Chains A and B, each alone.
Chain A
Amino acid sequence: MNKRGFEFSFVWLFSLVVGTVIIFLAIYAATKLIGSNEYEINTKTAADLRNILNPLGTSFEDSKSEKIELIKDTRVYITCNSEKGNFGENRISLSEKSSFNDWSELGSDITIENQYLFAENVIQGEKVYFIIVPFEMPYKIADVMSVFSQKYCFVNTPEEIKKELESLKGNVLPFNFTNSPSKCKDNSISVCFQSSGCDVNVKGTCTDRECKGELYKNGFIEKNNTQIYYSNGLLYGAVFSSPENYQCNVKRLVRKLRYVSEVYSEKSRLSANRCNTGLQPDTIFLSKLAENYKDLNDLRLIEAQAEIIDSKNKALGECNLY
Chain B
Amino acid sequence: MDKTGQLKIQQMVFMIIAVALFVILAVLFFFSIKTANLYQASIESERDKSIGLVIKLASSPEFSYAGITNGVDSDKLMALKKQPEYRDYWGVNGIVVKKLYPEYPNIECNTGNYPNCTEIILFKKEGDIAQSASSYISLCRKDNTGGRAYDKCELALMIIQTRENEF
A-B CB proximity, top 5 nearest? A266-B79, A54-B52, A275-B142, A59-B59, A86-B85
The answer on a CB contact under 8 Å between A47 and B45 is: yes
A57 to B144, CA, bound (A): 32
Q: Is the CB of A259 within 8 A of B85?
A: yes
How many chain A residues sit at the interface, stated as a range, is 35 or more
Give the chain A neighbours of B60 by CB distance below 8 A. 57
Once bound together, how far apart are the Cα atoms of A319 and B144, in whole Å?
9
Q: A29-B27, A318-B149 are in contact. Are A262 and B83 (CB under 8 A)?
A: yes
> How many CB-defined contacts (below 8 Å) exist between A and B?
114
Please list the residues of chain B having a beta carbon within 8 angstroms of any beta carbon in chain A.
1, 5, 8-9, 12, 16, 19, 27, 38, 41-42, 45, 48-49, 52-53, 55-56, 59-62, 64, 66, 69, 73, 75-76, 78-80, 82-83, 85-86, 88-91, 114, 141-144, 148-150, 167
Within A102-159, the residues touching B (CB, 8 Å) are 108, 113-114, 139-142
**Could you say which residues of chain B place their CB within 8 Å of the CB of A322?**
66
Q: Does A1 belong to the interface (CB within 8 Å)?
A: no
User: Is the Cβ of B56 less than 8 Å from the Cβ of A54?
Assistant: yes
Q: In this assembly, does A213 line the interface, its C-beta being within 8 Å of a C-beta of chain B? A: no
User: When the two chains form their complex, are residues B59 and A57 in contact, meaning their CB atoms are under 8 A apart?
Assistant: yes
Cα A255 to Cα B17 in complex, Å, equals 62
Of the listed stretches A8-16, A190-198, A234-242, name the one at the interface; the rest are far from the partner chain. Answer: A8-16
**When chains A and B are docked, how far (Å) is the Cα of A55 from the Cα of B52?**
6
Q: B9 contacts A263, CB within 8 Å?
A: no
A52 lies within 8 A of chain B by Cβ: yes
Check if B86 sits within 8 Å of A55, measured CB to CB.
Answer: no
B86 surroundings in chain A (CB, below 8 A): 86, 259
